[in-house]
Amino acid sequence: MKKNLALLAAIVVLALGTAASFRGAAPPKGPAYKTVHVFTPGSVNDEKLLLSLLEEFNSTIARLGVPSVRYRLWKAVGSGGDKAELMYESTWPSREVYDRVHKEKEYVDLLKKYLPFLRQVLKGEVYTAWFGTEPNPPARGGKH
């Protein structure tokens, strides 16, 4: 019984080890950071598969301790072309948090798994990254 408890404890520590590094960490340094990918998918299937894939990335990011960050897929309204333009974006607490997540083994492994598909679908994409600016940032603790 003690061996089973020790094994269970070891598994929990391994599973939560990465996420724990984000929880309780110092507040992120720097302004909010947004990434935007605009592209035209090759097919409706690409769009559906990308949406599924982004959910997998979102689950991974949440497990890594940043559940407030999500990739979102958007469709252009009234583009007038034959094919729909799509955009997927994410907003991060800071560039520091973005970099930390993108260096985590679980995220890197997921990216490697889907990189051939992403390169194919995002061929010709326009990628931009943005730093947030706030004229009057809210005070810490939620008070304005």
Domains of the chain and CATH, by start: 30-131 (3.30.70.100)
Which pLDDT value is given to residue 44?
Answer: 84
SS3 39: strand
CB 106 within 8 A of CB 18: yes
Residue 128's DSSP bridge partners are 36
- Say whether pTM exceeds 0.75: no
- E-strand ranges in 72-125 read 72-75, 86-92
Q: Write out pLDDT tens, residues 36-75.
A: 999 998 888 999 999 999 999 999 999 999 999 999 999 9
- Give yes or no for a contact between 132 and 30, defined as CB atoms under 8 angstroms apart: no
Residue 4 has pLDDT above 70, yes or no: no
Confidence of residue 20 (pLDDT cuts 50, 70, 90): very low
Has residue 141 got a pLDDT over 70? Answer: no
- Number of C-beta neighbours around residue 84 at 10 A: 13
Residue pLDDT, tens place only, 76-87: 987 666 666 999
